Amino acid sequence: MACLGMFGTRWYLSDTALLDRLNSLSRGESRRLYEVIELGGQRFFVKTFNEKGIGALFRNLFSPRAKREFLMARRLLGLSIPVPEPIGYGVSLKASFIVERYIDGQDLKEALRRSQRRQILERLAWLVKKLNDSHTLHRDLHLGNIRVREGIPYLLDLHKAQVKRWFSRQDVILNVAQLLHPLWHDMTREEKALFLDRYGEEIEGALERKMGALRRDWTKRKEKRAFRSTSKILLRGRFIIIRGEEERKGKFIELVKSDRKVRIERFEDHLRKYYRSRGRWKRAWKNHVVLLYMGLSVTPRPFYARKPSLFSSAFIAMEDLKGRGEELDRYVDGAFNFLSYGQRRKFIERLSRFFLFLFKNGIYHKDLKACNIFVLTDGTFRLLDVEDISFEELTLRDVKRMLVQLNSSIPTKVSLKDRLRFFVPIARSLGVETRRLFKEIVGESLKREVVYEGSMGLRIERWESEGHR
């Protein structure tokens, strides 16, 4: 049934009692708007697709996104694939609106933290197999587009989905890879085997290659957003501001560091890092933005950046960690010696888990000296020199290189036993024989001097003098 509503919107609804509530919806300018409405004790979800530009207006005239999502939802429900029940859609000159029954559940990532994790993974395998068997390519099958209610995963955001007459092997792999690549590194070997067994086809090799490609493409897309106005970034003249943050106005306190690459200044309410090279500034800001989209707090929190000009350097304003801890080499040279045996073990375990977390998320620091790891008093860690981070699938060679850098910047007073305790979980995670990995790292480290910033300043030590042969 078609009903003409306010704002020139033509509605197609199975329940016209919703019309008054729909006409009272707010009309914002954001690209997407989401609202939950209630009627008769029931809740409905309304998504608005605002269209901008001539091409988008023509698309809205002939193939509105809300209508495509409505029709796809009906088709998938007919195949017994769990999606929110479509109630109707509306179309105006510059927007379209999808109305569906609200799914009162959890996002997938939250649901997988619960005890029903195994059950959900089995049902995800069934869900993606069902999509592939019906030749349906979702095209945007990420964690935010799956909601779990009572252990059942529901597919959301269907306007990009397509039913294809010819469904290639690449289409099959794409559906599975889009679903799994944010989860894969957090899944145990048993969980991966369970999923692949329930899916029922031999796809692991092709799946891992595709997930690597998807991760690289995702990172490149987020890097491009670093200098554009987005849901997370605000442009204001020469300033690029993280939404929710503002320019910091605190007074200058001191010069922290100045060398041929950077100048770091401390202000009352932030730290400013000026870059001599525009390329290093760009790389640092891109990395901050990628980590922001990943939702990972592994570096000092950025507030905003200033673009370079003819007469001034670019800088990034970020949180100041002073008084909240110290660099790893200084910490080990000082406080580490005063820890009890149990406290040292716990500290090493936390540090090892931090590295495993970085590796699982494809975070590679190309200058991983101990002075570039900050130990916070709350027991967590942060990476410094963000410009030296890259996002890629790590090879064993990359991991060894980082660990040799770290090992050669830790005071020699740290025993071999403590160093081995740090390496063991990393070796197990990589599927490498522990003694072999440790021997290779130690062998390469012994060719170098140990250089670090201790509590009394710069120190240079040799392994032989401390009996580490």
Task: Please report the DSSP string for 140-178 in residue order.
Answer: ---GGGEEEETTEEEE---TT-EE-SS--HHHHHHHHHH
CATH number at residue 135: 1.10.510.10
Asked if residue 51 lies in contact with residue 66, where contact means CB atoms within 8 angstroms, the answer is no
115, 96: one domain: no
pLDDT in tens, 329-359: 999 998 887 888 899 999 999 999 999 889 8
- Do the domain assignments include residue 218? no
Which of 241, 47, 26 is closest to 144 using CA atoms?
47
Range in 51-55, 219-223, 323-327, 356-360 the model is least confident about? 51-55
256, 341: one domain: no
Task: Report residue 469 as tokens.
Answer: 């042969």
Range in 34-38, 58-62, 206-210, 385-389 the model is least confident about? 58-62
332, 293: one domain: no
Say how many C-beta atoms besides its own lie within 10 A of residue 372's C-beta: 22
140, 81: one domain: no
Domain boundary among 297, 318, 339: 318
Strand order in the sheet with 325-327: 325-327, 373-376, 381-383
The model's pTM is 0.79
pLDDT at 467: 45
187, 169: one domain: yes
- Do the domain assignments include residue 214? no
- Do the domain assignments include residue 399? yes
Domain boundary among 79, 101, 123: 101
The long-range contacts involving 354-357, CB below 8 angstroms and separated by at least 24 positions, are 354/380, 354/381, 355/426, 356/425, 356/426, 356/429, 357/298
What domain count does the chain have? 4
Which of 328, 338, 285, 318 is closest to 422 using CA atoms?
328
- Do the domain assignments include residue 209? no
- Do the domain assignments include residue 183? yes
- Do the domain assignments include residue 350? yes
pLDDT in tens, 237-269: 999 999 999 888 899 999 999 999 999 999 999
95, 110: one domain: no
349, 417: one domain: yes
294, 421: one domain: no
398, 427: one domain: yes
Q: Whole domain around residue 81: which residue ranges? A: 2-101
pLDDT in tens, 397-448: 888 888 899 999 999 888 888 888 898 888 887 777 778 888 888 888 888 8
186, 304: one domain: no
- Do the domain assignments include residue 211? no
In this prediction, residue 16 has a pLDDT band, given cuts at 50, 70 and 90, of: confident
Domain boundary among 101, 134, 150: 101
